Amino acid sequence: MSLDDAAEELASTLGVDKTEVKADLEKLVSYSVPMDEAKQSLRRKYGDGGPSGGGTPSETDIADITPESGNVTVSARVLTVGKRSIQYEGDEQIIFEGELADESGRISYTAWNDFSLSSGDTITAGNAGVREWDGEPELNLGGSTTVTVREDPLEVPYPVGGERDLIELEAGDRGRTIEVRVLDVERRTIDGRDGETEILSGEVGDETTRLPFTDWAPHDELTEGASVRLADVYVDEFRGVPSVNVTEFSSVAPVAAVDVSDSATELSVREAVASGGVYDVLLTGNVIEVRDGSGLIQRCPECGRVVQNDQCRTHGQVDPEDDLRVKAILDDGTDTVTAILDRELTAEVYGGTLEDALEHARDEMNRDVVADRIATRLEGRAYRVRGSLSVDEYGANLNASEFAESDADPEARAAAFLAEVKG
Ligand SMILES: [Zn+2]
């Protein structure tokens, strides 16, 4: 059904002006609200027989808002405000996102107009739309919403403002402010939506943890070792790990040296996997198997993917490069992950360099001897593995930065391991 037909139908069933309904529909659809939901929301707005026949709905407590609430009026404290630019049908649109709270609860919002919101403000948002986002209700403040700032601040049981430690950041967070040290940064050219664009990517850290970041509007202040306050950043997820995004709307200011945590978060394998990904984690368990694809492997020189029989899935016939890798299944009795060791760590557990491994394979006329030796050394022994855990359609993979034999009571671990194998 076209938008025009939908407007016609709604206008006649609700007995209101078609132009007005159509304008509302267009707006909702432009906010990515699905057509059925948009129609439903207009039926509520024009009041299918409601006592006032439409108009501004009465005030609702945030805790009572559900995805089916239709339009609501809330009085709330603005907890956070994040400014962001999105693409809609080829046009750039500036939106504001964050959280609002009252005594009863808090809710995410998206403002499609600039209502000059600041964190700490107490506002009444009249006729705000409600839509479902990821199973939760979210407020849409748009053209038909009125926002008035109130004099007396509403006390709410939530932190006002976006200041957070890195460990507290979660994908979906908007308008966050962090104080961090830049641990690593590189300038890269990517194919952005406006052609080739320069970005910065790297790693930041504070006392609680370290996280990857991307700066989409390269700020010169973000140099290795710099301690900075980054205001108005947002957080998304890359392979299950929270990632900090700095934009043209973020501000960067130097601060006194920020201490950076040197220790990784220590978790059981089950906890780590359940978290959906951890950037810097320490897991201890037994290597129960060195998987296929370990030892001497070959990679596509173009994309680095592992190739077999000189065939890359993307680049076809290639002249592959030799490399060393280990994929080891680590089991701590609660769950398993695949620990992936790069060339350097693999050389340590193999006890020789890539050149040594190639010579070994030539001598034995068999490339598998390298993986075999690694398996003999690792299988059945306990290791402490530090790295970045991603959990996605490729499984739970821990890209190891450190891999060391665990000295924690090897006999007890061996017994637990045997019990596991027999169990
Ligand atoms: Zn390739």
Give residue-wise pLDDT tens across range 354-383.
Answer: 999 999 999 999 999 999 999 999 999 999
Contact criterion met (CB below 8 Å) for 283 and 308: no
Task: Give residues with Cβ within 8 angstroms of 389, minimum separation 6.
Answer: 240, 241, 272, 273, 277, 278, 281, 283, 337, 396, 397, 398, 399
- Rounded CA-CA distance 207/259 in Å is 5
pLDDT of residue 50: 39
Distance 189 CA to ligand 1 centre (A): 19
pLDDT digits (tens, 9 = 90+) for 325-334: 999 999 999 9
Contact criterion met (CB below 8 Å) for 54 and 46: yes
pLDDT digits (tens, 9 = 90+) for 218-265: 999 999 999 999 999 999 988 778 999 999 999 999 999 999 988 888
Mean pLDDT of the chain: 89
Contact criterion met (CB below 8 Å) for 277 and 390: yes
Q: What is the mean pLDDT of residues 95-113?
A: 95
Q: For each of the domains in the chain, give its residue range(s) and CATH number, in order of start.
A: 1-55 (no CATH), 56-160 (2.40.50.140), 166-254 (2.40.50.140), 265-422 (2.40.50.140)
Distance 248 CA to ligand 1 centre (A): 34
Contact criterion met (CB below 8 Å) for 407 and 422: no
Sequence-ordered strand ranges (E) for 71-121:
72-88, 91-101, 106-111
> DSSP letter at 71?
S
pLDDT of residue 14: 67
According to DSSP, the residues that pair with 215 across neighbouring strands are 200, 246
- Rounded CA-CA distance 403/378 in Å is 11
Contact criterion met (CB below 8 Å) for 224 and 182: yes
Q: How, if at all, do strands 295-299 and 311-312 pair?
A: unpaired
Distance 322 CA to ligand 1 centre (A): 14
pLDDT of residue 54: 47
> Is this prediction's pTM over 0.75?
no
| Cα torsion 357, 359, 364, 367: sign | positive
116: left (phi over 0), alpha (psi -120 to 50) or beta: left
Task: Give residues with Cβ within 8 angstroms of 83, minimum separation 6.
Answer: 94, 95, 96, 175, 232, 247, 249
Distance 315 CA to ligand 1 centre (A): 4
Distance 320 CA to ligand 1 centre (A): 9
| Cα torsion 23, 24, 27, 33: sign | negative
Give the containing element (helix H, strand E) for 19: helix 18-30
Residue 421 pLDDT exceeds 80: no
pLDDT of residue 89: 76
Count Cα neighbours of 209 within 13 Å in the Cβ-side half-sphere.
Answer: 24
Q: What is the mean pLDDT of residues 273-285?
A: 90
pLDDT of residue 276: 81
Tell me the angle at which helices 343-350 and 354-364 cross, rounded to the nearest 10 degrees.
60
pLDDT digits (tens, 9 = 90+) for 40-50: 777 767 655 43
Please report which confidence band the pLDDT of residue 133 belongs to, taking 50, 70 and 90 as the band edges: confident
123 CB neighbour count, 10 Å cutoff: 21
Sequence-ordered strand ranges (E) for 247-335:
251-254, 265-266, 277-290, 295-299, 311-312, 316-317, 321-331
Q: And the tokens for 244?
A: 């900090």
Distance 217 CA to ligand 1 centre (A): 30
313: left (phi over 0), alpha (psi -120 to 50) or beta: alpha
- Ion ligand 1 contact residues with beta carbon within 5 A: 300, 302-303, 312, 314-315
**φ, ψ (nearest 5 deg) of residue 276:** 85, 5
Q: What is the mean pLDDT of residues 150-162?
A: 93
Distance 300 CA to ligand 1 centre (A): 5
Distance 317 CA to ligand 1 centre (A): 9
**Closest residue by Cα to residue 75 from 90, 65, 88:** 65
Residue 52 pLDDT exceeds 50: no
Residue 262, Cβ density class (10 Å: 0-12 exposed, 13-18 middle, ≥19 buried): exposed
Sequence-ordered strand ranges (E) for 165-209:
176-192, 195-205
* Tokens 């707005």 belong to residue: 45
Distance 395 CA to ligand 1 centre (A): 22
